[in-house]
A = this chain, B = another copy of it.
């Protein structure tokens, strides 16, 4: 009974990040997006990542060396993306230890297939992960079924969550008791930047509150921080 795999996308292009994130989420993966090496390392620290999709061409520390350093410390599965179809790149990539390789432009469906394949392969032989896998998340009076993306009540009543609601909830559960700005939440849930006057997070918060709060008018779980964002005000336990 595995929880939903958690994919980390590392790419400096905002559109690619959000496109892939959206696509993979729709196919019920959990997704975190990072715009470079620094963000990648932080995400690996903060979350239990199962697979990394890594763009090779990035400003700053480039993808190949990131992949190499990743491989130096763990056996995290990696799928490389590149703009060039150079055979040499392919060779280098696989030599470095990438599990698979895709050249842009590619069909998201193809990436999905590769991800499935790599995960199946990597899960067949047990690997040691950076963090123990969490099986069940619970907070307040709720339990989260991350596979079915639904909430379970004390009384075993099931409340389904939409893709966006689930992503938002996971962002909060990954960072409880911390003020998350709307920008951060957008990045965590969709890997995209805010438009001007972006109110989508406010709306999702409103929708999520209706599902998890006893009285949505006076929320006790998702607190508003005026001028700052939102905070998840409850303990989260993994069991």
Tell me whether A163 and B233 are in contact (CB under 8 A).
no
Tell me whether B45 and A226 are in contact (CB under 8 A).
no
Contact with B along A164-193 (1 / 0, CB 8 A): 100000000001011110001000000000
Please tell me which one of the listed residues B42, B124, B220 contacts residue A125 in the complex, with CB atoms under 8 A apart: B42
Contact with B along A47-80 (1 / 0, CB 8 A): 0000000000000000000000000000000000
Q: Considering the complex, give the chain B residue whose CB is closest to the CB of A32.
A: B125
Within 8 A of B (CB), among A189-239: 218, 220, 223-228, 233-235
- Interchain nearest-CB distance for A1 vs B (Å): 8
Given A163-B225, A225-B163, A226-B163: A46 and B125 within 8 A (CB)? yes
Docked complex Cα distance between A226 and B175 (Å): 23
Contacts of A227 in B (CB 8 A): 163
Tell me whether B162 and A226 are in contact (CB under 8 A).
yes
Docked complex Cα distance between A126 and B180 (Å): 8
Within 8 A of B (CB), among A21-59: 38-39, 42-43, 45-46
Contacts of A220 in B (CB 8 A): 148
Docked complex Cα distance between A234 and B162 (Å): 19
A149 at the interface (CB under 8 A from B): yes
Number of copies of chain A assembled together: 2
Tell me whether A177 and B130 are in contact (CB under 8 A).
yes
Q: Considering the complex, give the chain B residue whose CB is closest to the CB of A39.
A: B124
Contacts of A233 in B (CB 8 A): 147-149
- Interchain nearest-CB distance for A144 vs B (Å): 14
Given A128-B46, A178-B126, A178-B130: A121 and B38 within 8 A (CB)? yes
Docked complex Cα distance between A130 and B149 (Å): 28
Contacts of A184 in B (CB 8 A): 125-126
Please tell me which one of the listed residues B38, B124, B163, B179 contacts residue A224 in the complex, with CB atoms under 8 A apart: B163
25 contacts between A and B (CB under 8 A): A38-B124, A39-B124, A39-B125, A42-B121, A42-B125, A45-B128, A46-B125, A46-B127, A125-B184, A126-B178, A126-B179, A126-B180, A126-B184, A130-B177, A133-B177, A147-B177, A147-B233, A147-B234, A148-B220, A148-B223, A148-B233, A149-B233, A160-B218, A163-B226, A163-B228
